[in-house]
Structure 1
Amino acid sequence: MSDADSINARTIAEFRANHGQVGGSFAGVPLLLLHTVGARSGAQRINPVMYLPDRERYLVFASKAGSDRNPDWYHNLLAHPDVQIEVGDEILTVHASVLERDERDAAFAEQASRYPGFAGYQNKTERIIPVIALTPTGVPGASTPSPSA
């Protein structure tokens, strides 16, 4: 297991044990668990991701801390946009869609005003960091989160 996988596994366990709250670098920030299906592998994946609440939607940012590459979960969402998220103790089925440039820019500016590190991420890379809207579909989620990470 890589260091990132180990950190994710600990964060997921802490999130589930504490009704969506975690400490460390995610303490006090809105965090969800994003369930995706691997674009190439078809394997189930779970990633802790910060989000920005937007009416009924959850906006997530494919920043990868300013890397020149998008995170794997972004590619997974493009291939399989109907996924589940865990927010607190709730599981929601959502549809993922990439925001168009004007809406993306406004959402990114809001996120960067709340969490200035995001402005730094954008400054570190030449790519435009995608913003993805996760919109609940009304389809019920599973009754309890899967114990696997």
Structure 2
Amino acid sequence: MSTDEKHRSGWLPPRWFIRAAWWLHRRLYAAGGARFLRRPRDGRAGMLRLTTVGRRTGQERSVIVSYVPDGTGYATLAMNGWAEPAPAWWLNLQAHPEARVETVEGGVHQVRTREAVGAERDRLWVLLTAVDDGWGDLNDYAARRSHPTPVVVLEPTEPA
């Protein structure tokens, strides 16, 4: 199957590959910091480091997520490699909506998070699906899930 056919058919890499990629990116970040994050560019999402407070432990937890800029804030999808359960970072944000983000261009700052709904969600979904990072059709992947994929808004609470 060619790369184009895989993207059109909604092919997903195996779960072990997705988890290995996440593990590798976290190790690269630990070794080199923000230089391993990326800026958003035309047709390409950026990557940011999101630090949440664990809903059960109260300890800080960090994850790297892709995002698109939206005004002074950011928008991302609460997905778990397109697996059915919600990612732990999203569950943490639902319990404690205050978080910290680090981006290449903006440095580290505090954000307040929430789920986009209605017309705002529709507008952000269009922005997110317009990004082509080689993962294929987000609409196709989302249709495989039993529930809508949350669109998460991260709004700065302090100037960057």
The answer to which of 111-120 and 124-133 deviates more is 111-120
Equivalence for 2:122: 105
Equivalence for 1:132: 152
The answer to which of 3-12 and 130-139 deviates more is 3-12
Return the match for 1:71 from 87, 104, 125: 87
SS at match of 1:64: coil
| Structure 2 CA distance for aligned equivalents of residues 16 and 118 of structure 1 | 29
- Note the residue ranges of structure 1 that are not aligned, 5 or more in a row: 23-27, 141-149
- Note the residue ranges of structure 2 that are not aligned, 5 or more in a row: 1-18
Contact map agreement 1:97 1:134 (CA 8 A) in 2: yes
TM-score normalised to the size of structure 2?
A: 0.72
Alignment deviations for residues 57-86 of structure 1 (CA, whole Å, 9 cap, x no partner): 111110222221110000100111111000
| Structure 2 CA distance for aligned equivalents of residues 4 and 39 of structure 1 | 25
Equivalence for 2:26: 9
| Structure 1 CA distance for aligned equivalents of residues 32 and 151 of structure 2 | 23
2:96 is aligned with 1:80: yes
Contact map agreement 1:15 1:21 (CA 8 A) in 2: no
TM-score normalised to the size of structure 1?
A: 0.77
2:142 is aligned with 1:122: yes
Alignment deviations for residues 99-133 of structure 1 (CA, whole Å, 9 cap, x no partner): 11321122112211223442233022121000111
Which residue identity does 2:118 align to in structure 1? R
Contact map agreement 1:52 1:111 (CA 8 A) in 2: yes
Q: Which has the larger radius of gyration?
A: 2
Alignment of 1:16-35 (within 5 A): 16=33, 18=35, 20-21=37-38, 29-35=45-51
SS at match of 1:128: coil
Runs of 4+ in 1 over 4 A off after TM superposition: 2-5
Q: Cα RMSD between the aligned structures?
A: 2.5
Contact map agreement 2:110 2:157 (CA 8 A) in 1: yes
Equivalent residues, number: 134
Equivalence for 1:93: 110
Paired-residue identity, % = 27
SS at match of 1:40: coil
| Structure 2 CA distance for aligned equivalents of residues 87 and 46 of structure 1 | 13
